Structure 1
């Protein structure tokens, strides 16, 4: 079986979490011996919208692909082989403005009628999309770099990321994106002056927040190889987003043995499966209480061990197994 993969998310500006999902799943798929992967990247200078409807299909046909898989909600509307769509999240269903425009909504609707299958990473997103017959839930994974032995020590981490606090801090991965609710996290940690370390692309909004909240440390984009060490160094992680598709940092924190504070009734709470510290994300006071409880939890707290065991069941090999099974159903 030959599978053409639209790898545009790794060559064009996309959220770092989506890029990590695509690269990690691709690695697991290429390690298999039962499926041939036809990776297709868009050339520079061409509109992605035009490329998907023309050259992507031609490349997939030239590669004799049995199935064409898009890692985004946008996909070719006409192709000689079954096309699989990926919908990472439906932010408009949760009042989030980021990536919630009319184009994304249109593609999510088109998947129901024009795609052969629609992949989502969580039951929450499947419910958001209406749980139609073409939906398949395929959870993302977490790599052994998070659950295995540490390869980067605290000194090396401090050298690579100068300015890290010497006392327990709250880590907000990718927190400069509006949906991550950095303002809420800062309000919740203001009274105790608990340091907040925030990674992600520099934005004027985050810089302004840093000016008003001295306990905020902005690191910029952190290389992927440092993320496991940064999670292990944190007193806890916080994932308070209004909308997520899976909540990858939640799973990565659990795998690393780091307590994680998550918004109640959210997809990240689904991913944590009861092993995170759930809070009312509308209440800075409740978030503050959850952070305090997470920071005070001991290393032998049963929640940590059970959370690590839970996270270890989410491997990229398991993701690849599920994808291959769904692709086979179309051939």
Structure 2
């Protein structure tokens, strides 16, 4: 079976969507089988992939969804997979598309009118034209079916996973290397998120200020992630903080630094207003790190009671949760153990197997 893929997301610096696609593709290739993967992409450096039945097909990145028609016809594909809701609109090939979240609908203030229009348009096209839809959580599946009821019969949940490297013990030399790199001499809280309005980082800074005001100990806050449309507002909020010298900006963190960065943190925080899944929370739990998340349906599904859940609009509640999470109590120990168990249930290998089965069912089903 010849499967085309939108491989624009194969990049060295990976966050949510890029991580999801890269990790699944690596496992699909390792699974072997009769499938051949044709990776449609533009220029740029290709991350290392395992040897196997795959090859790249050069494609124009402009007008992507419209420009692949001739390429698809020439490759005689059985299926085309897009890790997002944008996909070729013509070409006579069956489509599988992934919906990661519907934040454009549930937190519309985080997006411009044009962004909301584009996201709704592509999601509606996926709901109508894709032969199968993948969602990353049951919560996202319910959100999608609520907006587009006709999608329910063709939705499958295939969640992200946690790489084996996050479950290992980080040695003291590696931990010190990462501490030195990011300027972390002592205790610290960690947030890993793009600087986007829905990630709610200014509220986390407010919670940190309140916590530090009542704490005798110097603890830093490390904000790791790419800059984004909320950068100016976040930087202005940090500048107003009386503890601004202890709020550090790490920028993009390479994957190889993440296990040590998670493991060294006293608390990992992901207090978004909306998420489709939240891979970093699961990675932090795999590293045995206490986790604080927003009280959202997706985190009740993914983290269960292994994480402390808070109202993302209540910085005082966040501050109290930070203070409680730093105390060495039986409840904290229970959450850490449960977090590792929860993370072990999400593995990329299992998700890749489910995705391959979906490809096979879809390719063999009616047009």
- Gap change, CA 1:290 and 1:192, over 3 Å in 2: closer
For the pair shown, the structure with the greater C-alpha radius of gyration is 2
- Aligned residue in 2 for 1:51: 64
Cα deviation code 1:93-123 (max 9, x no counterpart): 3224445511111111111211111111011
- Gap change, CA 1:41 and 1:11, over 3 Å in 2: farther
Q: TM-score, normalised by structure 1?
A: 0.91
Q: Does 1:246 align with 2:277?
A: yes
Q: Does 1:187 align with 2:187?
A: no
Decide whether the 8 Å contact of 1:172 with 1:198 is kept in 2.
yes
Deviation at 1:15, TM superposition (A): 7.2
- Aligned residue in 2 for 1:26: 25
CA–CA separation in structure 1 for the residues paired with 2:14 and 2:104: 17
CA–CA separation in structure 2 for the residues paired with 1:96 and 1:10: 28
Deviation at 1:205, TM superposition (A): 3.0
CA–CA separation in structure 1 for the residues paired with 2:210 and 2:314: 14
CA root-mean-square deviation: 2.4
CA–CA separation in structure 1 for the residues paired with 2:185 and 2:75: 51
Deviation at 1:241, TM superposition (A): 0.6
- Aligned residue in 1 for 2:233: 205
Decide whether the 8 Å contact of 2:133 with 2:156 is kept in 1.
yes
- Aligned residue in 1 for 2:81: 69
CA–CA separation in structure 1 for the residues paired with 2:315 and 2:60: 42
Decide whether the 8 Å contact of 1:125 with 1:245 is kept in 2.
yes
CA–CA separation in structure 1 for the residues paired with 2:11 and 2:253: 18
Name which of 82, 85, 90 aligns with 2:97: 85
CA–CA separation in structure 2 for the residues paired with 1:68 and 1:277: 40
- Aligned residue in 2 for 1:153: 174
Decide whether the 8 Å contact of 2:225 with 2:253 is kept in 1.
yes
Q: TM-score, normalised by structure 2?
A: 0.82
Deviation at 1:181, TM superposition (A): 0.8
SS in 1 for 2:16: helix
Structure 1: gaps spanning 5 or more residues: none
- Gap change, CA 1:118 and 1:98, over 3 Å in 2: farther
Deviation at 1:42, TM superposition (A): 2.6
Decide whether the 8 Å contact of 1:176 with 1:198 is kept in 2.
no
- Aligned residue in 1 for 2:55: none
Decide whether the 8 Å contact of 2:42 with 2:59 is kept in 1.
yes
SS in 1 for 2:64: helix
Q: Does 1:114 align with 2:142?
A: no
- Aligned residue in 1 for 2:191: 172
Structure 2: gaps spanning 5 or more residues: 45-57, 213-218
